[in-house]
Structure 1
Amino acid sequence: MAASTAKGALTVDVASPDGSAVDHVVHQIRELIAQAGLKVGDSLPAERELCAQFNASRNTVREAMRILKAYGLVEVRPKVGATITDNRMSRAIELFSFATMEVSRKTFSDVQAFRDLLEVGSVERIFDRLCERDIEELHAINADLAGIHDLEEASEVDFAFHVRLISILDNTAILDVYKVMKPIILRIMLKGKTRRTFKTETFSEHEGVIEALANRDRLSFQYRLRTHLMTGFKYFNEEMEASA
C-alpha cells in the first residue's frame, strides 16, 4: 500500500486482490465508462476528480490512463484531458504485424487453411446473399491487376479482392478478423507469388472465381477458390528447398 499527497489531500493506493493499484484503477475506469454509458468522443472526468473518486495517487491514475491509451480505449491530449475512443482494432493490427515478421511453411499452410475455412466454407451464405453488384465490383477490383507492375501493390489489390468477397457475408466480426490478419496475408501473397505474375495467373484465378459466382456454380466456386488459395504453397516449398 502506498500513500501520497495530491493537492494537499492524502490519497491511498490499494491494490486489488488480483493485481496492482494501477490494475485496480484501470478496472474502475472501465466500469465508470460502462456504468455512465460513455460513448466514443465523450470526456472522462478530470485527473483530479479521478484521483478523488478512486482514492488513488496522481501517478497511479496517469499510469492507468497510459494503459487504457495503449489498449486503444482513451485518447489523452494536453489541456483537453481524456476522451473515449475506440482504436482497439488498429492496436490489434499493429501487434499482429510485429508478431509475424517471418513466414514459415507451417504458418503459410495454417493461414491459408484458415482463409479456406472463411472463404470456401462460407459458400452457402455467400451464394444466398450474392447480387449483381458484388460481381461487378469483384470484376472492377480484379481489373486493377492488369496495369500493376509492383508486387507489393498487386498484393494489396489481391487482398482487396478477397476482402470484397468476404464482405458479401455482411458479417462485421469476420471482416474485422480478416483485416487483423492483413499483414501476414500480404506476406504470404508475396512469399507465394514471387515466381509467378499477378497479371496472368492471379488475374485468371480471380476471374474463374467470379465466373463460378456469376453462374451460381457452388462446386466450381469452391474448387477454383481453394486452388487459388493453395497454388502459392508449391512455390513456397520450392523456395524453401532451394534455400535449405
Structure 2
Amino acid sequence: MNGEQGSDKETGKVADKQVALVTGASSGIGAATVRVLSARGWQVFALARREERLKALRDETGCSPVVADITDESSVNEAVQRITACGPVKALINCAGGAIGKDPVATANIDDWRNMYELNVLGTLRITQKLLPALRKSEGTVLIISSTAGIEPYEGGAGYCASKSAERVMARVLRLEMIGEPIRIVDISPGMVQTEEFSKNRFHGDELKAKAVYAGVPDPLSAEDIAESVRWALELPDTVDIDSIVVRPRAEGSYTKVFRNQQ
C-alpha cells in the first residue's frame, strides 16, 4: 500500500488488512492497543512474556500471541523470524516498558536502573533493529511509547526519566537516519495513565503507594486513550509522520503541577 495507508470510509476500518506487532501486550497500554487495532481490522501479533494473559487476549480479540522476552536476544530472534515468515509487517508498536523504584540518586538501587535500561531502552532497540528490514519493505511505521518522564525529570525518578529520555532520543535520531527511506518513526509520550500494573510494579507491589499516585486526580488517562493515539497516528497516510505526541489528562499540567480534588 504505497502511500495509501488509511481507513475505509464506509466501514471505518483499515482498508486492507495489515499486520502490526505490539510489544508489552499482556497488560496496560499494550493490551489496549491490541484491542483497538484488532477492532479496526488489523492483524495483530501480541508479544509479551506471560502466556496465559496472551491466550486470554487471543480469545477476546483474535490476535496472534507471541511469547517472547525483548530483553533476550535469542527470544527476540525467534519471535521476529516467526512473525516475518507470515508476510509483510506494517507497524511495530513498542509498548513494553516500565518504572522500577522511586528512590533518590544517592540511594537508588543499581539493579533497578539496569532493569529499566534493559527493558525500556535496549529491549526497544533490539526488536526495532530486527524488524527494520521488514518495515522498510512494507513502507511501515516504528512507533515508540515513551513518556513525559523523558521530557521533564523529577525527584525520585532519575532512573526512569533517564531511560525514557534515551528512548525518546532513539526515536528522534532514528527519524533523522531514516530520512529518504519509506518508513515512519513516531514517538508518543503519555503523562499520567492509570493502569492496573504500572505504579504497582514501580513500588514493588505496594498497593497503598500505587493508589496514592492517582489519589484525587479527576480522570487520569486510561490505556485506551493512548491506544487511540496509536491508532490515529498509524492510520494517517504513509507520507504523514507524526514525529511526537505528548498526551496528558486535563488535570495534569506537568509532573509537578497536577490538580487533585480535596480528600
TM range (shorter): under 0.3
TM-score by length of 1: 0.25
Of structures 1 and 2, the one with the larger relative CO (CA 8 A, separation 6+) is 2
TM-score by length of 2: 0.24
Whichever structure has more strand as a proportion of its residues is 2
Whichever structure has more helix as a proportion of its residues is 1
